[in-house]
Chains A and B, each alone.
Chain A
Amino acid sequence: MLKSAHPLPKLALCLAWIVASLIVFRLSFQIALFAAATLLLLFDARIPLPRLLFLMVPFALFGFGFFTTSVLFRAESGFAVQMAQEQSGATDVAPGLVLFFRVMACGMTSAVFALTTDPGQFVRALMQYLRLPTSMVFALMQAMHMVPDLRAEMLQLRMARAIRLGRPLRRFPNPGEALSLAIPLLAYAIRRATRAALSFEARGLQPGRARTNLPQPSIRRTDWALFFFGFGVLIATSTIILMPAG
Chain B
Amino acid sequence: MTETPALPVPDALSYDRVTLRHDGAISDAVGPVSFAVERGERVLLLGASGAGKSTLLHAATGLFPRAIPGTRTGELLLDGCPVDSRAPADWADTCGHLFQDAALTLAGFTVRDEIAFAPENQAVGSDRIPGIVADSMIRAGIPQIWANRRITTLSGGERQMVALAALLAQGAPVTLADEPAASIAPMVARRMADLLLAPGSTTIVVEHKPGPILDRIDRCVALGQGGRVIAEGAPRDMLRNHGVALAQAGIALPLATRLYLAAPDLIDPHMTLQDALARFPSAQARRLRDAVLPTPILTGEILATLEGADCAPPFGPVVLRDVSLSLRAGEVLAILGPNGAGKSTLAACLSGLIPPRAGRRTGVPGAVAFQNPEAHFNQGSVRAEIEGLGHASERVAQILDLWGLEQVAEQHPFTLSQGQKRRLSLALLAETDRWPVLILDEPTAGLDGAAEAALGQRIRALAHEGHGIAVITHDMDFAVSVADRALLLNRGAVQFDGACPELMRDTALLAGAGLLPPESALILNWLETAC
Contact = CB atoms under 8 A, between A and B. Distances in A.
B314 interface: yes
B355 A168 contact: yes
Given A155-B314, A199-B107, A204 B113 contact: no
B352 interface: yes
A215 B132 CA distance: 13
A94 to B, nearest CB: 40
Interface stretch (B118-126, B208-216, B249-257, B320-328): B118-126
Interface string A129-169: 00000000010011011001100010111011111101011
22 contacts: A119-B109, A123-B109, A141-B109, A155-B314, A156-B375, A157-B375, A164-B376, A196-B104, A197-B67, A198-B68, A199-B102, A200-B107, A201-B63, A201-B89, A204-B118, A204-B170, A209-B121, A211-B120, A212-B120, A213-B120, A214-B133, A215-B130
A1 interface: no
A212 B128 CA distance: 10
Interface residues of B, number: 66
Given A123-B109, A155-B313, A209 B89 contact: yes
Interface in B280-330: 313-314
Contacts of A214: 112-113, 116, 120, 126, 129-130, 133
B353 A144 contact: no
Contact of B110 (A120, A164, A197): A120
B88 interface: yes
Given A144-B109, A201-B89, A212-B124, A195 B99 contact: yes
A102 to B, nearest CB: 33
Interface string B482-520: 000000000000000000000000000000000000000
Interface of A: 118-120, 123-124, 138, 141-142, 144-145, 148-149, 153, 155-157, 159-164, 166, 168-169, 171, 184, 187, 192, 195-206, 209-215
A161 B352 CA distance: 14
B372 interface: yes
B46 interface: no
Interface stretch (B138-146, B188-196, B362-370, B472-480): B362-370
A168 B372 CA distance: 20
A200 B150 CA distance: 18
Nearest to A210: B123
A169 B121 contact: no
B87 interface: yes
A11 B320 CA distance: 42
Interface string B325-351: 000000000000000000000001001
Contacts of A123: 109
Given A155-B314, A160-B376, A196-B107, 19 more contacts: A119-B109, A148-B152, A159-B370, A162-B353, A164-B378, A169-B354, A192-B104, A198-B68, A198-B105, A199-B97, A201-B88, A202-B63, A202-B89, A202-B97, A203-B96, A203-B117, A204-B89, A205-B89, A210-B123
Given A145-B152, A204-B121, A215 B105 contact: no
Q: Which of A153, A166, A200, A212 has the most CB of B within 10 A?
A: A212
B61 A202 contact: yes
Nearest to B316: A155
Nearest to A139: B107
A163 B61 contact: no
Leading 9 A-B pairs by shortest Cβ distance: A120-B109, A204-B92, A204-B121, A199-B105, A206-B89, A214-B116, A160-B375, A202-B97, A163-B367
B105 A196 contact: yes
Contacts of A192: 104
Contacts of A171: 314
B126 to A, nearest CB: 5
A120 B152 CA distance: 12
B3 interface: no
A210 B126 CA distance: 13
A189 B429 CA distance: 26
A163 B347 CA distance: 13
B101 interface: yes
Nearest to A214: B116
A153 B102 CA distance: 17
A157 B353 CA distance: 13
B63 A198 contact: yes
Contact of A159 (B99, B102, B106, B348): B348
B380 interface: no
Interface in B350-399: 351-355, 365, 367-368, 370, 372, 374-376, 378
A64 to B, nearest CB: 27
Contacts of A156: 370, 372, 375
A157 B374 CA distance: 9
Contacts of A196: 104-105, 107
A121 to B, nearest CB: 8
A199 B54 CA distance: 13
B130 to A, nearest CB: 7
B365 A166 contact: yes
B166 interface: yes
B437 to A, nearest CB: 11
Nearest to B109: A120
A200 B189 CA distance: 23
Nearest to B367: A163
B260 interface: no
B129 A215 contact: yes
A50 to B, nearest CB: 16
B162 interface: no
A132 to B, nearest CB: 14
A156 B133 CA distance: 35
Contact of B67 (A118, A145, A162, A198): A198
B93 interface: yes
B137 to A, nearest CB: 13
Interface string B446-486: 00000000000000000000000000000000000000000
B265 interface: no
Nearest to A216: B126
A171 B126 CA distance: 48
B108 interface: yes
A162 B365 CA distance: 11
Contact of B170 (A138, A157, A203, A213): A203
